[in-house]
Amino acid sequence: MDIGERIIKHRKKNGWSQEELAERLGVSRQSVSKWESGTSVPDINRILEMSELFEVTTDYLLKGDFDARINTLETEGKEKSDFQTAEAQGSSVSWEAGAQDPSISQKTERQDPAIFWQMTDGGTTDGGTIGSADEKREEVGFTAGKQMAAEEINRFMEMTAEFGRKVSLGVMLCILSPAILIGACGFTGKEGGEILSERVAVLFGLLCLFIMVASAVMLFIKGSIMIKQYEYVKNGEFFLDAASVKVIEGVLADFAPQFSNGIAKGVALCILSPVPLIVTSLIGFSQPLVVLMVPVLLLMVAVGVSLFIRLGIMKEGFLQLLKRNEYDVTYQENVKREEKLGSIYWPAVTAIYLLWSFLSNDWHISWIIWPVAGCIFAAVSNALKNKGNGDFR
């Protein structure tokens, strides 16, 4: 039974139609229909709301009875771990810290869905070598760190969205900070109608500039402090169960059109931003109007860049949770290898370049070492990535 079938089961159990459930959740009937048919997956907020409406846990709603039972031991001894089962079959298990009593596993509050193997290197069962604990964790896809529950995933994404809003607004303020100064200067002098004196225009413009930059810095600091608590997500020190991954992938798929449209709008704004300035200059409008087009240009660029940043941070949050692209473990390992190689390679290239140049005095030729060294480094880096299976999605 998948999540759609569980929604149908509990909706009917409560005697609700799709329209009634949709009204309680604040969504359309079509959304509920898509969830129940399996064509889409509800987001984290809706899952939390349905768990309250149906009076079930989010674990049950996401994974069903069996998987929820895997994650929670209701009473000691109610469920036997794989290690206890192995012992009952006459298997021999070598335990961490030298313990030989399989009842230790009963004290584990929560097991990783892929099975947390509590054994020392070289443990055996049924006379066969299992291998090291690290090898077994890697085999089943176990990741070190804490498991993120649905509520925590939801809080992280809300915090990421808020962080994106703060950073994008701060960047907008930085881009727009000289706009008032430029605009005010357009109304000075004879061509500007002498509406403002140059001194007043500069002082007022600089005051606005400093206030806007200070506000932007405050937003950056607030955002950084706010998102700091989720540093472990960026570092990959967590793991998710399969159902949570499926939900996040569904939300990311729904977010993809919004991301594409937002990026397209941002690019269009940046490309079109000089048009008002060019048009007013070519037509021959007065100086104040032409100068005012510069703040308009800055505003269009600011809005476009803010779209890039806000949507980019949101997408980055999804990628951090799914450990994709630069947050993929393999990718990070390759980056570390590349950084280690570069710390040795480039100083050596510099030393060779200087030695060759000073000894031969062929400075007009020795520069060739840099493009050659760059090509070699790129080839070696790609070889390392391919060795590490560099499919970073």
- Express each pLDDT in 309-332 by its tens digit: 999 999 989 888 888 866 666 666
For 139, 329, 384, the CA distances from 389, given in Å and listed in that order, are 15, 11, 9
Q: Tell me phi and psi for residue 21, to 5 degrees.
A: -65, -40
Tokens 């009473």 found at: 75
Could you tell me if 58 and 10 are in contact, meaning their C-beta atoms sit under 8 angstroms apart?
no
**Per-residue model confidence as pLDDT tens digits over 124-168:** 434 444 444 444 444 444 445 678 888 888 889 889 999 999 999
Contacts of 349 (CB under 8 A, 6+ apart): 369, 370, 373
> Element (H or E) spanning 55, and its range?
none
Report how far residue 217's alpha carbon sits from residue 211's, in angstroms, rounded to the nearest whole number. Answer: 10
Residue 344, token pair as written in the block:
């040795």
Q: Report yes or no on whether pTM surpasses 0.85.
A: no
Within 10 Å of residue 326's Cβ, how many Cβ atoms? Answer: 13
Report how far residue 331's alpha carbon sits from residue 384's, in angstroms, rounded to the nearest whole number. Answer: 10
CA trace torsion 373, 379, 383, 386 (10° rounding):
140
Which percentage of the chain shows pLDDT scores above 70? 71
* Residue 94 reports pLDDT greater than 60: no
Maximum distance among all Cα pairs of the chain, rounded to whole angstroms = 100
